[in-house]
Chains A and B, each alone.
Chain A
Amino acid sequence: MSAGGLLGLVWRIVLVTGAAVLALVACSGSADGVVATDAWARPTPPVGNTAALYVSLKNSSRIDDQIISASAEVCQELELHQTVLTGDVSSMPAVEADAMSIAAGGTLLMEPNGLHLMCLGLPAPLVEGEELTLTLTLAQAGDIEVIVKVQQR
């Protein structure tokens, strides 16, 4: 093995170790760095089997965070979507990575006709007063559980 190759390997080890240490520090330091400030969903009609969940997340840590995935037991599929009104035409593209990020000290706001978690394949309608449990996996804070309240707004 050449000197250059060896140096490259050493660097790689240093980088990987560094990243692992950083990840550990991040996990221990900001386990509760991201909290849901508001989590709700409208009651849903007896037909169609979709719902939109609106969760606002505040990141009080000093590290930017990002939603990696989301799941809820009642949703066959749960996707982060952005409602986009182009003129008066509405479409719901899956969001770009930067829309899932929560800047350090910042808040990610989900709201009707905007960013939302789209729940597909609901086995039964959501009823006013119910609560459902949502699990969000964040790059830094790890898994957080959020209680989503079903309420008319």
Chain B
Amino acid sequence: MTVQADPRESADQPDQSDKVRGKPSGLGRWPKILLGAVAAVLLVGLGFRILVGSLNPHLYAGTVFQFDEPAAPLEGIYLADGSEVDLTDYEGELLLVFFGYTFCPDVCPTTLSGAAQAIEGLDADTQERVNLLMVSVDPTRDDPETTNRYAQFFSPQFLGASGDVAAIDRAASLYGIYYDIREPEAADQPDNYLVDHTATLMGITPDGVLRIVWPPDISPDLLRADIAELLS
């Protein structure tokens, strides 16, 4: 044993300078091993993601309906150019529908600017295939032009529409929208009143079906992911 050790020691002696020179290459091996390990972890991770992605379909943040009835026509609801809203104009694209009113200080601006942010974050091609129509639930103060100016403030892509009480009542009931015009808060300011209303965002998919409903406080990120999936 000692005999074996002796030649090694003697052989190591002249190698010492080599070893010193070799040290950097010895240490240099570690980054390579680390790099390999990191690459392996990344590859496994990527593989896992692809596997999970193919097994798990997109989880919608909105409530998805499983029926194929075409969305109800918005009879008597007019756009700013004087034409009646025709849902077939939006076939092949996504139409988001929102019922609100222009004197709405909190919920409507929050929902509409959130929708605008969601859409702005999509790629240009997808953006072009998204429309948003705001239908007023305040026939007295909101004519089509007023509603349209309000909607376009949040995005030039948005449209506003309105109609008479009967048309708005019908549209609201067909779309499951509740609304209630409240008494003015001060008797001397009859124009300052609030409207309680369902503040969901609804999605009519390219096949013309009202397929999805989002809650009023949906985050722009979740909304964007759902829109991207609906148009993919």
Selected contact of B217 from candidates A47, A85, A119, CB within 8 Å: A85
Contact B103 A48 (CB under 8 A): yes
Closest Cβ neighbor of B196 among chain A residues: A91
- B103 contacts across to A, CB distance below 8 A: 48-50
Q: Produce 1/0 per residue, B146-181, CB < 8 A to A.
A: 100110011000000000000000000000001000
Q: How many residues of B contact A (CB 8 A)?
A: 31
Main secondary structure of the interface of B (DSSP, over half): loop
- Point out which of B154, B186, B189, B196 has the most chain A C-beta atoms below 10 A from its C-beta: B196
Q: How far is the CB of B166 from chain A (nearest CB, A)?
A: 22
Interface flag for B230 (CB, 8 Å): no
Q: Which 10 A-B pairs have the closest CB atoms?
A: A45-B153, A48-B102, A50-B105, A91-B196, A112-B110, A90-B107, A52-B105, A90-B199, A52-B106, A48-B103
17 extra interchain contacts, Cβ-Cβ under 8 A, other than A47-B150, A89-B178, A121-B189? Answer: A44-B109, A45-B109, A46-B153, A48-B101, A48-B102, A48-B150, A49-B103, A52-B106, A81-B106, A88-B215, A89-B196, A89-B197, A92-B196, A112-B109, A120-B105, A120-B189, A120-B192
A-B pairs with beta carbons under 8 Å apart, 8 shown: A46-B150, A47-B146, A76-B189, A85-B217, A88-B199, A89-B199, A92-B106, A112-B110
